[in-house]
Amino acid sequence: MYRSGIRWSGDPTVSDITANQLSLQRIEQTNLNLRLSNNNLQQIAYVASHDLQEPLRKIQQFGDLLQAEFAPLIGENGADMIRRIAQLRQLFKNLLSNALKLLQAGYITATSRPGQDATFFVCLPA
């Protein structure tokens, strides 16, 4: 039985658990704050990854334009460079897509360490 933060166990021993209850409340509030912060960071990461896809589309468009307009002028070496740019763009696009999938599935958590401004990502076990 609890009254005013005091636990009565039926024997003459009485324990004040007020400090324990306050600690538990602080931990619960901290966990709530961390969950809210983590959700915000995940949303920011999601939006940022979508914003990174626009430059990738432009890289593809300019590569296609270079190939179509200047193929006779740039020769085989130039065409090879354009192909490499397209391959790297596709690789980066796949990396972004996979990171988004992991983020959405909860396998990556955006977080930050106390006292640091940097945000990093932690891979969580399946």
Q: Which amino acid is at 10?
A: G
66-93 pLDDT, tens digit per residue, is: 888 988 888 899 889 988 998 998 888 8
Buried b (16+ CB within 10 A) or exposed e, 110-123: beeeeeeeeeebee
3-state secondary structure of 122: strand
33-47 pLDDT, tens digit per residue, is: 888 887 777 777 777
Q: Which amino acid is at 57?
A: R
**123 or 99: which carries more pLDDT confidence?**
99
What mean pLDDT do residues 6-26 have?
A: 72
- Residue 57 tokens read as 């589309």
Kindly give the pairing relationship between strand 2-3 and strand 6-8. Answer: antiparallel
DSSP code of 16? E
What mean pLDDT do residues 41-70 have?
A: 83
Q: Which amino acid is at 21?
A: Q
Does residue 28 surpass a pLDDT of 60? yes
